[in-house]
């Protein structure tokens, strides 16, 4: 009996050692062709603010670091990063030396890998997949030819590449790169995940992330009307909080935020007035942040001082079999009732406020709904009664009139900065009988948030929200490239005469452009 216990203890200890994550040392080194000195950057996580700067001089650079597991990363010239438009060279942070030759003329197309087993494999598969994309995106191919190529990409190409790399991190990289693409349906995604059988790879953050997403999509986690899934995550004291234990007989709103993201922080701050109004009615809030650096999260909590439950999920330190953020937010931020059932998801703070007001203060809710549609003078909603599904439908709203389009999103900081110059823009457009059209490119923007945003910034003019059908038509007819903010000029005949107009902040150039384009 004693010997059996000793053997079991040894086995358990061995397994524990094998599941424990250990850091490794790595070196990034190489040469830069075409620039003598400067800075390149790489990142140890997908989070904003985790860029690591590596200076180079006389065309040489070298950096030594530690990582918790093999990480997908990119090398970027820092000056390009600051400009917001850059090429990147993909690498894998791996044990040992990653040596590269970076070409300033075209870092993506002309750079080379000299050393690094996983990075060399990554470069090889990226060259192959680029050929697939080039074939599919070839403007000369018909839709039928493109559809055929997409099917080929699954059956004969990417799936085979994953099969060939199923025993190394590049196979997992390919799954991460293509999991959300149009190439695979849910069944095919499950088949791809099954190809990775190595325990270490399946236990990596990247694999668990996609596997968790697949399970959530397959089983439709946290859909309205279903029981909220349970989860256990760490609070700032290191204590593990189990959702099912704190949710008993409570109305709870669970939202995802980002200590590394200003836009998400601003959305979380909107919850403060909601929490204060309803906290005495057995209403709770849980904010979950996916993070790479726990010190940054704790500084964020100290700075923002949210008075509700705050939890963190660390990218590479999770002992769980799943990545909870991929599962619990499968249908966006959500509200759970006292019985544990999800009663609303994909919520914004504005929509949450309306739901809680209706539940707890029905008389106030009636007043709230009545006031919501009271808009400032000279604000007109183009899609209040019926959505606009094509660019042609938008043009018919302004038959015989020229108009200027402002493409924005409520989360887009550069878009909001441009609103400071709207008064002079409105004055100019009014004087020349040019209509001003604001198009929101937010995903699932609900009425309350949209209308509050218009009121907050006093955006006089015409407004609409872009659904996917409109976006597809808008891209095809105007050449819109999805960058926000974007500005377009449409003449009296409904023709796009400029799809990349100057910003309102550059008013002199914009006004000359409007005059020139509309008088051609």
Q: Is 251:337 a contact under the CB 8 Å cutoff? A: yes
Checking if the pLDDT of 205 tops 70, the result is: yes
Tell me which residue of 41, 53, 177 sits closest to 122, measured CA to CA. Answer: 177
β-strand pairing of 89-93 with 232-234: unpaired
Domain that holds residue 169: 131-219
Element (H, E) at 42: strand 38-43
Q: How far apart are CA 72 and CA 286, in angstroms?
A: 30
Q: Please report the pLDDT score of residue 136 as a whole number.
A: 66
Look at residue 460 in the predicted model and tell me its pLDDT. Answer: 94
Mark whether 510 and 383 lie in a shared domain.
yes
Residue 508 has pLDDT above 50, yes or no: yes
Tell whether 514 and 390 lie within a shared domain: yes
pLDDT band at 293 (very low <50, low <70, confident <90, very high): very high
> For residue 21, what pLDDT is reported?
55
SS (H, E, C) 59-109: CEEEEEEEECCCEEEEEEEHHHHHHCCCCCEEEEECCEEEEEEEECCCHHH
What is the pLDDT, as a whole number, of residue 497?
93
pLDDT value of position 128: 85
pLDDT mean over 468-475: 89
Same domain for 253 and 143?
no
87 and 153 belong to one structural domain: no
pLDDT at 90 over 80: yes
pLDDT of residue 340: 96
Is residue 16 scored above 60 in pLDDT? Answer: no
Out of 219, 248, 268, pick the residue that ends a domain.
219
Over residues 435-458, mean pLDDT: 90
Q: Which comes out higher in pLDDT, residue 224 or 483?
A: 224
User: Residue 479: its pLDDT value, please?
Assistant: 85
* Residue 285 counted as domain residue: yes
Number of domains making up the chain: 4
CATH number, domain with residue 110 = 2.60.40.10
What does the pLDDT look like over 371-403, one tens digit per residue? 888 888 899 999 888 889 999 999 999 988 999
Residue 502 lies in a domain: yes
Same domain, 301 and 357: yes
> Which of 155, 185, 219 delimits the end of a domain?
219
Domain shared by 389 and 493, yes or no: yes
Q: Is residue 245 scored above 80 in pLDDT?
A: yes
| 448-458 average pLDDT score | 91
241 and 182 in one domain? Answer: no
Tell whether 107 and 150 lie within a shared domain.
no
472 lies in a domain?
A: yes
Instruction: Judge if 274 and 213 occupy the same domain.
Output: no
**Cis preceding-peptide flag for 168 (omega within 30 of 0):** no
- What is the tens place of the pLDDT at every residue in 133-171? 776 666 566 667 666 766 666 556 788 889 899 999 999
Return the CATH number at 500. Answer: 3.40.30.10
Token pair of 131 as six digits: 């050929």
Q: What is the C-alpha to C-alpha distance for residues 499 and 481, in angstroms, rounded to an integer?
A: 9
Q: Is residue 246 part of a domain?
A: yes
Looking at the predicted structure, is the pLDDT value of residue 220 above 70?
yes
Q: What's 332's DSSP letter?
A: S
126 domain residue, yes or no? no
Q: Are residues 477 and 358 in the same domain?
A: no
In a domain, 10, yes or no: no
One domain, residues 411 and 500? yes
How many other β-carbons are positioned within 10 Å of the β-carbon of residue 518? 17
Q: Mean pLDDT lowest for which of 155-164, 245-254, 493-502?
A: 155-164
Q: Among 364, 387, 422, where does a domain finish?
A: 364
Q: Do 393 and 514 sit in the same domain of this protein?
A: yes
> Is residue 351 domain-resident?
yes
Q: What is the mean pLDDT of the chain?
A: 89
- Domain assignment present for residue 122? The answer is no
Residue 32: pLDDT band with limits 50, 70, 90: very high
Quick one: CA dihedral 291, 222, 341, 263, positive or negative?
A: positive
């Amino acid at each position: 009996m004693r010997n059996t216990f000793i053997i079991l203890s040894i086995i358990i200890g061995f397994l524990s050692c094998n599941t424990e994550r250990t850091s490794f040392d790595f070196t990034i080194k190489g040469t830069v062709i075409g620039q003598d000195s400067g800075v390149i950057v790489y990142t140890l996580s997908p989070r904003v603010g985790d860029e690591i700067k590596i200076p180079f001089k006389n065309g040489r650079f070298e950096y030594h670091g530690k990582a918790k597991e093999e990480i997908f990363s990119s090398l970027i010239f820092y000056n390009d990063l600051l400009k917001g438009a850059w090429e990147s060279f993909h690498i894998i942070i791996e044990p040992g030396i990653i040596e590269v030759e970076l070409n300033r003329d075209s870092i993506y197309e002309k750079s080379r890998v000299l050393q690094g087993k996983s990075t060399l494999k990554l470069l090889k598969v990226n060259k192959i997949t680029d050929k697939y994309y080039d074939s599919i995106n070839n403007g000369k191919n018909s839709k039928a030819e493109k559809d055929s190529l997409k099917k080929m990409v699954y059956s004969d190409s990417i799936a085979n590449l994953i099969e060939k790399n199923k025993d190394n991190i590049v196979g997992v990289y390919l799954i991460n790169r293509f999991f959300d693409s149009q190439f695979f349906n849910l069944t095919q995604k499950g088949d791809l995940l099954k190809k990775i059988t190595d325990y270490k790879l399946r236990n990596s953050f990247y694999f668990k992330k996609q596997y968790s997403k697949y399970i959530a999509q397959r089983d439709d986690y946290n859909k309205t009307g279903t029981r909220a899934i349970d989860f256990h995550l760490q609070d700032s004291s290191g204590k593990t909080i189990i959702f099912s234990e704190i949710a008993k007989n409570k109305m709870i709103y669970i939202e995802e935020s980002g200590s590394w993201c200003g836009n998400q922080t601003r959305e979380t701050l909107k919850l403060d007035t909601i929490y204060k109004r309803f906290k005495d009615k057995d209403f709770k809030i849980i904010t979950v942040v996916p993070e790479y650096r726990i010190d940054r999260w704790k500084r964020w909590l100290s700075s923002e001082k949210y008075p509700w439950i705050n939890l963190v999920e660390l990218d590479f330190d999770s002992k769980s079999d799943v990545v909870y953020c991929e599962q619990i937010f499968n249908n966006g931020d959500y509200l759970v009732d006292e019985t544990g059932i999800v009663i609303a998801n994909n919520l914004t703070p504005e929509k949450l406020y309306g739901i809680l007001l209706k539940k707890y203060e029905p008389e106030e809710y009636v007043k709230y709904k009545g006031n919501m549609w009271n808009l400032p003078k000279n604000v007109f909603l183009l899609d209040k009664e019926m959505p606009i599904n094509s660019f042609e439908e938008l043009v018919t709203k302004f038959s015989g009139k020229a108009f200027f389009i402002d493409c924005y999103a409520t989360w887009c900081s550069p878009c909001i900065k441009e609103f400071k110059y709207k008064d002079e823009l409105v004055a100019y457009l009014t004087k020349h009988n040019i209509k001003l059209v604001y198009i929101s490119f937010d995903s699932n923007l609900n009425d309350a948030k949209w209308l509050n945003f218009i009121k907050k910034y006093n955006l006089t003019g015409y407004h609409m929200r872009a659904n996917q059908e409109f976006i597809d038509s808008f891209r095809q007819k105007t050449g819109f490239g999805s960058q926000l903010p974007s500005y377009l000029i449409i003449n009296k005949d409904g023709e796009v005469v400029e799809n990349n107009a100057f910003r309102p902040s550059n008013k002199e150039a914009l006004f000359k452009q409007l005059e020139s384009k509309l008088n051609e």
